[in-house]
């Protein structure tokens, strides 16, 4: 006996496939959703509570990889504008806020004396990590998130034994890739226009690009950014090292794209 899918069941069938695909895509997302709670700050600390909170948020947003930070504005809105009426060092409160804002991890902290102390907690299991302390709030973030800190960004100077990532192939690989894959902007190739651009690639410990930023492209208006980004995503790197340990790092360079090979 032959079986067929009726016209009415086709949309349902397609919807089921899309739902499965969506679920699979979401479950494989790499980014952890981080809630940084307002920090408790003693009056003698050099930063006030709001500036300290902003500094720690900035450290997470600009210094780490594979992290989605819940914006300060959303946290303030959820707390109805009053961040002082809660015990922000109580694990029960932190778990409640983490679950309410659908966070994977909650960051709690306080400034005592001259140091900032931070710890990370899973709001769904109650497991915690830390605390880690430092006089510089950004150093405290780096200590707490040592496995996800990206060395080479301008937030903090890297250790003296830090070695940045290196592209595996020759320095002209980007130009070669763009030509070989037909990605040179058509208007630029017709007028024999080359390009200079500053690039910053975040490289994982596996030597794979995980973030690409392209700045100061000259000339503008030819879509060189798109071609350069495609080339960089295809590259593989020797990862950054601190001593004999591989870490996240930045490959920063000025690239020159030539209209001829």
232: CATH? 3.30.2420.10
Does residue 219 belong to any structural domain of this protein? Answer: yes
Residues 51 and 90 in one domain: yes
Q: How crowded is residue 86: how many other Cβ atoms within 10 Å of its Cβ? A: 15
Does residue 83 belong to any structural domain of this protein? Answer: yes
Q: For 133-159, how does the pLDDT look when each residue is reduced to its tens digit (9 = 90+)?
A: 999 999 999 999 988 899 988 778 888
Q: For 158-188, how does the pLDDT look when each residue is reduced to its tens digit (9 = 90+)?
A: 888 999 999 887 555 888 899 999 999 999 9
Higher-confidence residue of 20 and 76: namely 76
Contacts of 227 (CB under 8 A, 6+ apart): 178, 183, 184, 185, 257
Q: Report, as an integer, the average pLDDT of 107-117.
A: 89
Q: Report, as an integer, the average pLDDT of 200-224.
A: 92
Q: Report, as an integer, the average pLDDT of 1-7.
A: 39
Q: Are 214 and 199 in contact (CB under 8 A)?
A: yes
Does residue 15 belong to any structural domain of this protein? Answer: no
Lowest mean pLDDT among 4-8, 183-187, 200-204, 205-209: 4-8
Does residue 7 belong to any structural domain of this protein? Answer: no
Residue 42 has pLDDT above 70, yes or no: yes
Q: Which pLDDT score, from 0 to 100, does residue 44 have?
A: 76
* Packed helices 137-144 and 49-63: angle between N→C axes, nearest 10 degrees: 50
Q: Which pLDDT score, from 0 to 100, does residue 157 have?
A: 84
Residue 48 has pLDDT above 70, yes or no: yes
Residues 42 and 141 in one domain: yes
Residues 135 and 233 in one domain: no
**What is the domain extent for residue 112?**
32-148
Q: What does the mean pLDDT of the chain come to?
A: 84
Closest C-alpha to 51, from 116, 139, 134, 130:
116
Paired tokens of 51: 């500036």
Does residue 202 belong to any structural domain of this protein? Answer: yes
Residue 15 has pLDDT above 60, yes or no: no
Does residue 41 belong to any structural domain of this protein? Answer: yes
């Amino acid at each position: 006996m032959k079986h067929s899918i009726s016209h009415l069941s086709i949309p349902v069938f397609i919807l089921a496939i899309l739902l499965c695909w969506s679920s699979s895509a979401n479950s494989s997302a790499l980014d952890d959703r981080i809630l940084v709670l307002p920090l408790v700050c003693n009056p003698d600390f050099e930063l006030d509570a709001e500036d300290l909170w902003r500094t720690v948020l900035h450290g997470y947003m600009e210094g780490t990889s594979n992290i989605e930070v819940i914006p300060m504005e959303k946290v303030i809105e959820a707390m109805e504008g009053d961040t002082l009426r809660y015990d922000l060092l109580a694990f029960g409160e932190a778990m409640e806020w983490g679950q309410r804002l659908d966070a994977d991890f909650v960051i709690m902290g306080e400034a005592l004396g001259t140091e900032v102390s931070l710890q990370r907690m899973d709001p769904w299991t109650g497991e915690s990590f830390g605390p880690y302390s430092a006089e510089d709030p950004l150093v405290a973030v780096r200590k707490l998130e040592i496995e996800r800190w990206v060395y080479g960004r301008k937030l903090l100077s890297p250790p003296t034994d830090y070695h940045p990532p290196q592209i595996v192939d020759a320095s002209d690989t980007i130009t070669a890739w763009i030509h070989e894959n037909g990605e040179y902007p058509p208007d630029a190739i017709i007028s024999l226009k080359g390009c200079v651009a500053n690039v910053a690639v975040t490289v994982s410990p596996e030597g794979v690009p995980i973030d690409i930023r392209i700045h100061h492209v000259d000339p503008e208006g030819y879509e060189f950014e798109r071609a350069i980004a495609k080339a960089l995503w295809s590259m593989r790197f020797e990862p950054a090292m601190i001593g004999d340990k591989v870490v996240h790092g930045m490959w920063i360079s000025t690239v020159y794209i030539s209209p001829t090979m």
